[in-house]
Each structure stands twice: as C-alpha cells, then as structure tokens.
A = this chain, B = another copy of it.
Amino acid sequence: MSEHTRQILVRGRLRITDFRLRLLEVFVASSHSALTQKEIEARIGAHDRITLYRTLKSFEAAQLIHQVVDGSLENKYAFCLHDCPEHRAQEEHAHFLCNQCKTTYCLGSISDLAITVPSNYSLDKVQLALTGTCSACN
C-alpha cells in the first residue's frame, strides 16, 4: 500500500523515510482538499514539529505539494496532482473555501477567464479564492 507513496518520493528524488511516507499518506488521503498545518498535525499522529516544518519545505521544493491561497489567510498545503497546474509557467488555479466546514476544494484551472492588468504590469500568477458554502454543507 505504501508502494504508491514510495514511487512519489523516488520521482521527487527524495530519500525514503518513515516520516515522509506517513506525511505523504496524509496528503494522498485528502488530495481533493487543502490542509492547514494544524490539520496535518492532527492526522499524522505523534511527530516532531521541526521535522514537519522541514519536510513540508522539502516536499514543496520537490513540487510534491504546493501552498494554497483560499482567502482564509491561513496557510494551507495540497498534494500536487501529476500534471499540477500550480507548476506551469502561468499558474492559474481556483480554490473554494466553505465557510461552514472550512474545507478548501480545488476547482482546477481558470485559464478561460479574461484577466487583464493595467498596462506596463506583467502577470505571472492568477489565484482565484472563492468563498461560500459547499454542497455538503448546503
């Protein structure tokens, strides 16, 4: 069962350790929504806080996860799907934060929106943070 997560670490050229496998399991298990550090800590069980910080950094550097802007002013992390839109040159991603359950759903690409910036500005990244009530809470 951990063969899948092993593969992910190999692809990211990261050494395979128990802690990294455990952390990856957490992300894979909620790949549809983004997690706060608190939520991660609750799910991963006993652990060293410092190691978690560093492992999150390694994962982010290896592009296994990415930070999510959902309008909640909390830092959240999400697992990168294979062809992760966050890591294309022109990153365009929409997230939806439910006011009730505080879940952040990934809504995928928004590249079809017509976004323009003032002249002489150049645009690298478009993050769309939507807030409301999700279908589960409605």
Which positions in A face B, CB cutoff 8 Å? 67, 69, 71, 73, 75, 96, 99, 107, 113-115, 117-135, 138
In the complex this chain forms, how many copies of it are found?
2
Nearest 3 A/B pairs, CB to CB: A120-B135, A125-B131, A127-B129
Q: Is the CB of A121 within 8 A of B99?
A: no
Compute how far the CA of A121 lies from the CA of B113 in the bound complex, rounded to whole angstroms.
Answer: 19
Indicate the member of A67, A69, A127, A135 with the most B CB atoms within 10 Å: A127
Return A95 CB to nearest CB of chain B, in Å: 10
Compute how far the CA of A62 lies from the CA of B98 in the bound complex, rounded to whole angstroms.
Answer: 25
Q: Is the CB of B99 within 8 A of A120?
A: no
Compute how far the CA of A8 lies from the CA of B127 in the bound complex, rounded to whole angstroms.
Answer: 33
Q: Which of B69, B122, B132, B138 contacts A71 (CB 8 A)?
A: B69
